[in-house]
């Protein structure tokens, strides 16, 4: 039987996370040195830190108030963050500078398709079917030139909805009442997107894969729309859909809902996560190195998290948080033994469940996991998002809030 490997070939004298290290495992502190921690205030603007009590939605059987922490109303950036250099002339480089990822070929082809429908305002070419091009498309349209900031952390949250993890990048918005939006989903920021998915942030955290590329995703959206709309609207949908199918065929973009590439990716998924789009990390089937299951089931974890947000006082909340701590500790230990996918799963689950009370723990888990997996771009995105996360709207740096 092959022995498990340690995370490092040789011990280090100084922990590479420095003051940001959150590890509580005694063995970790025996191996690595840590500088003393200092408190850093890193916010611009004023964000309310008051707490208020409101009746919780849903099943409040005891009819007691629940602690709710106010979400920030002013976009925040670290004080020490410098402005970005001038925007590159090349569109792909300009997008990568501000969003930290390369956009796929279908993204630029879809923009050209929309320009063929609406030369003056391609971003609004699909407004008759309820869609608007947003996010990185705002660089192509020139809308981001209206932004009054040069801070990377604020570009990283542009058109980011409440439940969008770093892996999900919004590019199309739909019905505002549901906060319907589509986006590219990547397992690794250095790799092309796995698929285009949708989420309705006003409803839940579920991320549903739609197609391999944006043409297939919009085509699936139009198929669903035709089954619900009136005859007059159906004519508009059919006109757009016929044009889209013709363009996709001419440019060799598949419209399959489940392509071969998506099937291959599904085989690599080690766990579904709360958002249900699945988690892919390097995993050795022989040694079982790279991922291990959480020590509690999804059902138990959700019950613990529900108890935390449903607490009526600080003492009760702390008691329920105590039940979460062993799960966090076990995920930390998994990191020490190179099962990085475990802390990534737990961090994403806390993020997907929602609630400011979990933000600090989720951030610690995710930043560490992304660093160990060499997905550092995602670490920057989650940090920026959690500083500015809020329900009920998409974040934007053009009009501050949309």
Check residue 223 and give its pLDDT. 95
Q: How far apart are CA 257 and CA 215, in angstroms?
A: 10
Please say if the pLDDT value at position 5 is more than 70: no
Average pLDDT over residues 316-331: 95
Contacts of 134 (CB under 8 A, 6+ apart): 123, 159, 170, 171, 172, 173, 181, 394
Q: How far apart are CA 159 and CA 398, in angstroms?
A: 10
How much of the chain, in percent, has pLDDT values that exceed 70? 81
Q: Say how many C-beta atoms besides its own lie within 10 A of residue 148's C-beta.
A: 8
How much of the chain, in percent, has pLDDT values that exceed 90? 71
User: Per residue in 91-130, pLDDT tens?
Assistant: 999 999 999 999 999 999 999 999 999 999 999 999 999 9
Q: How far is CA 235 from CA 33, 173, 225, 239, in A?
A: 67, 22, 11, 6
Q: How far apart are CA 230 and CA 219, in angstroms?
A: 18
Instruction: Copy the structure tokens of residue 103.
Output: 């956009």
- Per the CB < 8 A criterion, the answer to whether 172 and 182 are in contact is yes
Looking up tokens 């089937």 gives: 285
10 Å CB burial of residue 347 (0-12, 13-18, 19+) is buried
Q: Confidence class of residue 9 from pLDDT cuts 50, 70 and 90?
A: very low
Q: How far apart are CA 134 and CA 109, in angstroms?
A: 15
Instruction: Copy the structure tokens of residue 111.
Output: 């923009």
Contacts of 150 (CB under 8 A, 6+ apart): 83, 84
Q: How far apart are CA 212 and CA 184, in angstroms?
A: 9
Q: Confidence class of residue 282 from pLDDT cuts 50, 70 and 90?
A: very high
Q: Just list the catalytic residues.
A: 337
Among 49-58, 192-201, 238-247, 380-389, the least confident range: 49-58
Q: How far apart are CA 395 and CA 385, in angstroms?
A: 9
- Per the CB < 8 A criterion, the answer to whether 389 and 153 are in contact is no
User: Per residue in 176-185, pLDDT tens?
Assistant: 999 999 999 9
Please say if the pLDDT value at position 286 is more than 90: no
Check residue 401 and give its pLDDT. 45
Q: Which of 298, 401, 282 is nearest to 353 (CA)?
A: 298
Q: At what angle do helices 231-250 and 105-117 cross, to 10 degrees?
A: 130
Instruction: Copy the structure tokens of residue 166.
Output: 């770093």
Helix or strand or coil: residue 164?
Answer: coil
User: Per residue in 21-36, pLDDT tens?
Assistant: 655 555 555 556 665 5
């Amino acid at each position: 039987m092959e022995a498990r490997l340690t995370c490092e070939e040789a011990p280090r004298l100084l922990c590479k996370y420095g003051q940001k290290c959150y590890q509580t495992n005694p063995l970790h502190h025996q191996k690595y040195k840590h500088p003393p921690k200092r408190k850093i205030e890193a916010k611009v603007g004023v964000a309310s830190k008051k707490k208020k009590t409101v009746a919780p939605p849903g099943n409040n059987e005891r009819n007691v108030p629940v602690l709710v922490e106010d979400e920030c109303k002013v976009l925040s950036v670290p004080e020490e963050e410098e402005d970005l250099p001038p925007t590159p002339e090349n569109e792909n480089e300009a997008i990568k500078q501000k969003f930290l990822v390369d956009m796929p070929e279908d993204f630029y082809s879809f923009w050209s398709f929309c320009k063929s429908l609406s030369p003056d305002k391609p971003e609004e070419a699909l407004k008759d079917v309820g869609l608007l091009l947003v996010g990185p498309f705002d660089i192509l349209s020139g809308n981001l030139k209206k932004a009054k900031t040069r801070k990377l952390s604020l570009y990283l949250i542009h058109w980011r909805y409440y439940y969008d993890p770093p892996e999900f990048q919004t590019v199309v918005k739909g019905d505002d009442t549901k906060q319907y939006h589509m986006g590219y989903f990547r397992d690794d920021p250095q790799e092309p997107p796995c698929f285009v998915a949708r989420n309705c942030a006003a409803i839940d955290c579920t991320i549903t894969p739609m197609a391999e590329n944006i043409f297939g995703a919009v085509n699936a959206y139009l198929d669903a729309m035709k089954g619900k709309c009136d005859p007059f609207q159906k004519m508009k949908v059919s006109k757009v859909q016929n044009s889209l199918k013709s363009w996709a065929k001419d440019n060799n973009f598949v419209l399959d809902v489940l392509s071969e590439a998506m099937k291959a990716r599904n085989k690599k998924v080690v766990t579904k996560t709360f958002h249900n789009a699945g988690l892919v990390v390097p995993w050795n089937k022989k040694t079982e190195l790279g991922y291990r299951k959480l020590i509690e089931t999804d059902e138990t974890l959700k019950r613990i998290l529900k108890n935390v947000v449903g607490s009526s006082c600080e003492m009760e909340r702390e008691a329920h948080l105590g039940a979460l701590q062993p799960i966090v500790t076990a995920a930390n230990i998994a990191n020490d033994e190179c099962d990085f996918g475990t802390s990534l799963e737990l961090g994403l689950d806390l993020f997907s469940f929602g609630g400011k009370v979990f933000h600090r723990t989720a951030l610690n888990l995710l930043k560490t996991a992304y660093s160990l997996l060499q997905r550092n771009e995602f670490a920057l995105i989650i940090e920026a998002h959690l500083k500015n996360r809020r329900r009920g709207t998409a974040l934007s740096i053009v009009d501050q809030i949309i």
